[in-house]
Structure 1
Amino acid sequence: MSLILRSVQKTPSFNFNKLRDDIVALRRIMRVDRFELAVVCMDEPQVRELNKLYNGRDEPTDVLSFPRYQNLKPGKLPDPWSDVNDLGDIYLGISSIQAWCEKNHIDLDTGLPLVVTHGLCKLIGYKDDSLGQWKQMYEKEMDIIKKFNKATGGHVPLRPATPPIANDVDKDELISAMS
Structure 2
Amino acid sequence: MPELHLDVQRASRATALPTDEQIRQWVLAALEGHRDEAELSIRIVDEAESQQLNRDYRGKDKPTNVLSFPAELPEEVDLPLLGDLVICAPVVAREAEEQHKASPAHWAHMVVHGTLHLLGYDHIEDAEAEIMEGLEVKVLAGLGIADPYQPADRPTEAPGA
TM category, shorter: 0.7 to 0.9
Candidates 133, 157, 162, aligned match of 2:146: 157
- Bigger strand share: 2
Larger radius of gyration: 1
Residue 36 to residue 125, structure 1, CA distance change in 2 (3 Å) = same
2:128 corresponds to: 133
Tell me the C-alpha RMSD between the 2 structures: 2.5
1:111 pairs with one of 82, 106, 111: 106
Say which of 66, 90, 96 aligns to 1:95. 90
Structure 1 residues 131 and 117, CA gap change in structure 2 (3 angstroms): same
Tell me what 1:75 maps to: none
Q: Which structure features the higher share of helix residues?
A: 1
Contact 1:29 1:147 (C-alpha < 8 Å) held by counterparts: no
What is the CA–CA distance in structure 1 between the aligned matches of 2:20 and 2:59, rounded to whole Å?
33
Q: Deviations over 1:107-155 (max 9, x none)?
A: 3222211111110110111111111111111111111111222xxxxxx
Whether the 8 Å CA contact 2:30–2:116 is kept in 1: the answer is no
The equivalent residue for 1:56 is 59
SS in 2 for 1:142: helix
What is the identity, as a one-letter code, of the residue corresponding to 2:14? T
Which segments of 5 or more consecutive residues in structure 1 lack a partner in the other structure? 71-77, 150-155, 163-179
Distance change in 2, residues 1:15/1:133 (3 Å) = closer
Which region of structure 1 is more displaced relative to structure 2, 129-138 or 48-57? 129-138
**TM-score w.r.t. length of structure 2:** 0.79
TM-score normalized by the length of structure 1: 0.72
What amino acid is the match of 1:102? Answer: E
Is the Cα contact below 8 Å between 2:47 and 2:63 reproduced in 1?
Answer: yes
Provide the aligned length of Structure 1 versus Structure 2. Answer: 147
* In 2, Cα distance between equivalents of 1:30 and 1:141: 13
